[in-house]
Structure 1
C-alpha cells in the first residue's frame, strides 16, 4: 500500500522538517509538498495530487482560517488537520466549523499527530485530548460573559491599542487596565493579544 501523499503549510522550515520526520515515521504517510504562506498553498495546482493537508493557523501573509475558507470552495473533499500553537477552544471551534477534520496542539504533536492524520484520512474528526472536553460546538459565536468595561478593554486590545493608550482613552488608571486584561485573557482562554484579535475578528468585533 502506497503512503498517503501529504502537504505541510507552516512558515518555519525547521518546524516543517521536524513534523515531516514525525509524519513519515510509521511509513503510512509521506510529505510530498511544503508551503510557507497562504499565497503558496493556494496557488493554482499547489495541492494537485495531495490527499491530506497539515496547516498552521499563523502564516506571514494571512492565516490558516482564510485558507480553510478558500479550500472549502476549491478542494471541498481535501482533509485538513490544523496543527497550531493557538490551542484555545475558540480557535478549534472556528477551524472545525470552517471544514478542518482535525485540530492538534503543537505541544501534543508527538503523541497526537499520527492519530489525527489517520482519522482525517478516513474523513473523521480528531481534536487534541486537552481540548476535547472543553469544546462546545454549540457555543461558537457566544463570547463568555464579560463586564461592560472588560468588553471595552478587550475590543481595544484586539484593535492593537496599548495599555497606556487604553487607560488614557477610558479615563482609568493603568493598573485597572491590566486587571481587566488579565480577566479577559482568562475568560477567553487567550494567551496573547494575537489570540484576542483572532477571537474578536471571529465575533465580528474588528476587521
Structure 2
C-alpha cells in the first residue's frame, strides 16, 4: 500500500486547523495531518518533523521579519512549505517565493486549491493558485534575461516534470546537463537583479516574462 501524503499545520486558529483536517481527510486519496498547532514547533518535533509538507500561517508570528525568519529556517532545513494566510499582498506573496516557499495560498481560496497545492508540493511540481497568479502578473518587470532556445526548453520541461531525471529522459540529455542549463538560467536572472534560487521563484519569473502560462503548469 502506498504511503499516504502527510502534512503538518502551523496555524493559531483552532477552527482553521479543524477545517483543514476535514478537507484533507476528504481528499482523494486522503491526506494525513500528522501534527497541527499554534507554533512552528509542531513542524520541528515528532511527528510533525517528518511531514511531507508544512502548511504555514505567515501571520502566526506578530512581527513580519520574524515570520519570514521562521519560513526561511524551515526552507533551509529542506522542508516543503506552503504559506497559507489571510493576506493577499503582492509583495508578500513574491517575498515568500523568494524565501523558498513552494507556493503562496490565501485562506479565501478554499479546499480545492489547498489540496492541489499540497499534492503538487509533495511531488515537487509548481502550483500557481489564483491570488499568486495575480501577484505575479501585477509585478511583471522589463528586465528579462535573454534565454537560449535550449535553456527555455529545459526550463519548461522542468516546470512540467516531477524530477530532473524525467526531464533528461524526455529531452535526451543527462541530468548533469539539465542542471547546467538550469544554473545558467538562474545566473542570467541573478545578473539582471531578479534572483530565483528555488523552483517556485523561477516559475514566478518565467510567468512574469511570458515564457510560460500559469494554466500550462
1:71 is aligned to: 74
1:95 is aligned to: 96
The one of 37, 40, 53 aligned to 2:39: 37
- State whether residues 84 and 105 of structure 2, in contact with CA within 8 Å, keep that contact through their aligned partners in structure 1: yes
CA–CA distance in structure 1, aligned partners of residues 12 and 67 of structure 2: 11
CA–CA distance in structure 2, aligned partners of residues 129 and 119 of structure 1: 15
Q: After superposition, what is the alpha-carbon deviation per residue over 1:150-198, rounded to whole angstroms, capped at 9, x for unaligned?
A: xxxxxxxxxxxxxxxxxxxxxxxxxxxxxxxxxxxxxxxxxxxxxxxxx
CA–CA distance in structure 1, aligned partners of residues 103 and 80 of structure 2: 8
CA–CA distance in structure 1, aligned partners of residues 112 and 44 of structure 2: 32
CA–CA distance in structure 2, aligned partners of residues 20 and 84 of structure 1: 16
- Superposed displacement of residue 119, structure 1: 1.0
Give the total of aligned pairs.
136
What SS does the aligned partner of 2:104 have? strand
Change (3 A) 1:60 1:89: closer
Q: 5+ residue gaps in structure 2?
A: 142-217
Q: Which has the larger radius of gyration?
A: 1
- Superposed displacement of residue 110, structure 1: 2.0
1:131 is aligned to: 132
What SS does the aligned partner of 1:32 have? strand
- State whether residues 2 and 28 of structure 1, in contact with CA within 8 Å, keep that contact through their aligned partners in structure 2: no
Q: After superposition, what is the alpha-carbon deviation per residue over 1:43-88, rounded to whole angstroms, capped at 9, x for unaligned?
A: 5556432111111111156554222111133x22x21111111122
- State whether residues 82 and 103 of structure 1, in contact with CA within 8 Å, keep that contact through their aligned partners in structure 2: yes
CA–CA distance in structure 2, aligned partners of residues 29 and 133 of structure 1: 28
Structure 1 residue runs of 4+, over 6 Å off? Answer: none
2:109 is aligned to: 108
- Superposed displacement of residue 42, structure 1: 6.0
Change (3 A) 1:48 1:65: same
- State whether residues 11 and 60 of structure 1, in contact with CA within 8 Å, keep that contact through their aligned partners in structure 2: no
Which has more helix, going by share of residues?
Answer: 2
